[in-house]
């Protein structure tokens, strides 16, 4: 493998050593000292190149290439065929850079600009509509990832970016799983506060189910912050490597401070999500999980029917001095669903008694 200094030298002289035709004539972003701007990770170095006003993240391996070549070829091909808008252009180029006399493979990815998830939440902490739209967009993305048989594998605040149009984009694909690499060795298992304990405890294999736990953690945390923005400061979310939950909470969920705080919100939807989380944690393996939005209790309140209909219910009751049962009980004040049996004393969706 080429060493880091040789890679930097090759990038600095990209007009000679860059061998990707689509990037001919590209300019390299430089630091103030004239050296190429770069991020160095455990396996690769990432540089920023610009061609015809389009920015690219250009990745070169400095270690572990032989184990990853086949994996990234398959990920690149699969994502290109699926064409989901949540992923950046991700192109594997064989022999893309000449480094110290050796042609090495490279990856180019569309360079995305925007705010990472925590920054976006912080900027919009008082904008309920924006955060609500973000939560609903997550549901759409999770559903499409499942249908297209893709797991990101490391869903967390540092790998989720929201652009200037409020579109969600996923970044960092080292942990992505597609059907052709399912069951192979995992390179990344994700941040502890987003992962089922079993995924971190045992040697795991790449799986299309790897996102199910982190999807729930992200959606539940975001929805809780929408209902109680004070949680952001109480748990110092900005300066942590989690959203609201940490891995210690998963060891004894019902006794954790965050569980008690979320229960005190007194939201039927939050309670349902916590119940699903408890069910997840009772499973011995994350491979036993199913997507949280397929749970029966959650399906009844998907896309925030609850909050919208309860607000409508509350507005009606304010205008009526002596409301009749038929007027104020049009919608269940527990789950927000309309009563489909007006004469029944119980909601057919959540089973709660009619008020």
Alpha-carbon separation of residue 108 from 51, 54, 71, 175, 226 (angstroms): 12, 12, 15, 17, 36
Would you say 100 and 40 are in contact if contact means Cβ atoms under 8 Å apart? no
- The residues with which 169 forms a beta bridge, in sequence order, are 161
114-133: per-residue pLDDT in tens? 999 999 999 999 999 999 99
Closest CA to 135 of 248, 235, 256, 222: 222
Q: In terms of C-beta density within 10 A (0-12 exposed, 13-18 middle, 19 or more buried), how is residue 180 classed? A: middle
Tell me the C-alpha distance between 275 and 93, whole Å.
46
Number of residues in the chain: 355
Tell me the C-alpha distance between 223 and 292, whole Å.
14
Q: Which residue has the higher pLDDT, 340 or 282?
A: 282
With 80 as the cut, is the pLDDT of residue 50 above it? yes
How many other C-beta atoms lie within 10 A of the C-beta of residue 266? 9
Q: Which strands sit side by side in the sheet containing 115-116, from one edge to the other? A: 115-116, 160-162, 168-170
- What number is the average pLDDT over the span 15-30? 94
Tell me the C-alpha distance between 241 and 195, whole Å.
12
With 60 as the cut, is the pLDDT of residue 337 above it? no
At 75 the pLDDT is: 92
Instruction: State the pairing for strand pair 160-162/90-99.
Output: unpaired
CATH topology of domain 22-110: Phosphorylase Kinase; domain 1 (3.30.200)
Where is average pLDDT lowest: 12-21, 99-108, 178-187, 328-337? 328-337
197-221: per-residue pLDDT in tens? 999 887 678 999 999 999 999 999 9
With 70 as the cut, is the pLDDT of residue 340 above it? no
At 299 the pLDDT is: 86
CATH topology of domain 115-299: Transferase(Phosphotransferase); domain 1 (1.10.510)
Would you say 131 and 226 are in contact if contact means Cβ atoms under 8 Å apart? yes
- The residues with which 7 forms a beta bridge, in sequence order, are none
How many other C-beta atoms lie within 10 A of the C-beta of residue 203? 7
303-331: per-residue pLDDT in tens? 655 455 445 545 554 544 444 433 334 55
Q: In terms of C-beta density within 10 A (0-12 exposed, 13-18 middle, 19 or more buried), how is residue 205 classed? A: middle
How many other C-beta atoms lie within 10 A of the C-beta of residue 186? 19
Helix (H, G, I), strand (E, B) or coil at 90: strand
Share of the chain above pLDDT 70, in %: 84
Tell me the C-alpha distance between 143 and 251, whole Å.
28
At 61 the pLDDT is: 86
Domain positions in the chain are: 22-110, 115-299, 304-355
Cα dihedral angle (118, 286, 81, 218), rounded to 10 degrees? -20
The pTM score is 0.80
Instruction: State the pairing for strand pair 160-162/27-28.
Output: unpaired
With 80 as the cut, is the pLDDT of residue 111 above it? yes
Where is average pLDDT lowest: 63-72, 77-86, 264-273, 277-286? 63-72
In which region does residue 54 sit, left (phi positive, over 0), alpha (psi from -120 to 50) or beta (all else)? beta
The number of CA neighbours under 13 Å toward the Cβ of 314 is: 9
Instruction: State the pairing for strand pair 44-51/54-61.
Output: antiparallel
Q: Any idea what DSSP says for residue 338? A: B
At 309 the pLDDT is: 46
């Amino acid at each position: 493998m080429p060493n880091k200094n040789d890679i930097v030298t090759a990038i600095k002289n990209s007009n000679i050593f860059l061998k990707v035709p689509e990037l001919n004539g590209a300019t390299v972003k430089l630091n103030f000292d004239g050296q190429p701007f770069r991020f160095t990770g455990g396996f690769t170095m990432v540089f920023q190149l610009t061609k015809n006003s389009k920015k690219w993240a250009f990745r070169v391996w400095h270690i572990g290439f032989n184990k990853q070549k086949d994996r990234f070829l398959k990920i690149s091909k699969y994502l290109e065929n699926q064409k989901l808008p949540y992923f950046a252009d991700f192109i594997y180029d064989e022999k893309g850079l000449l480094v110290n006399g050796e042609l090495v493979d490279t990856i180019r990815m569309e360079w995305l600009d925007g705010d990472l998830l925590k920054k976006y939440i912080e900027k919009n902490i008082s904008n309920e509509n924006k955060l609500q739209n973000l939560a609903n967009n997550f549901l759409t993305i999770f559903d499409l990832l499942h249908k297209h048989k893709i797991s990101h594998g490391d869903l967390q605040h540092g790998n989720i970016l929201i652009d200037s149009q409020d579109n969600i984009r996923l970044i960092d694909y080292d942990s992505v799983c597609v059907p052709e690499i399912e069951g192979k060795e995992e390179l990344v298992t994700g941040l502890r506060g987003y992962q089922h304990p079993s995924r971190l405890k045992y040697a795991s294999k790449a799986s299309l189910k790897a996102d199910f736990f982190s999807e729930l953690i992200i959606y539940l945390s975001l929805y809780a912050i929408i209902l109680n923005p004070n949680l952001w400061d109480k748990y110092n979310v900005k300066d942590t490597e989690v959203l609201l939950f940490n891995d210690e909470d998963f060891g004894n969920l019902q006794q954790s401070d965050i569980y008690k705080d979320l229960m005190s919100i007194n939201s039927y939807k939050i309670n349902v999500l916590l119940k699903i989380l408890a069910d997840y944690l009772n499973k011995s393996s994350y491979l036993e999980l199913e997507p949280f939005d397929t749970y029966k209790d959650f399906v009844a309140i998907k896309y925030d029917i609850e909050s919208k209909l309860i607000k409508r219910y509350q507005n009606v009751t304010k205008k009526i001095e002596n409301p009749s049962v038929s007027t104020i009980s049009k919608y269940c004040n527990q789950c927000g669903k309309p009563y489909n049996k007006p004469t029944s004393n119980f909601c057919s969706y959540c089973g709660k008694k009619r008020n």
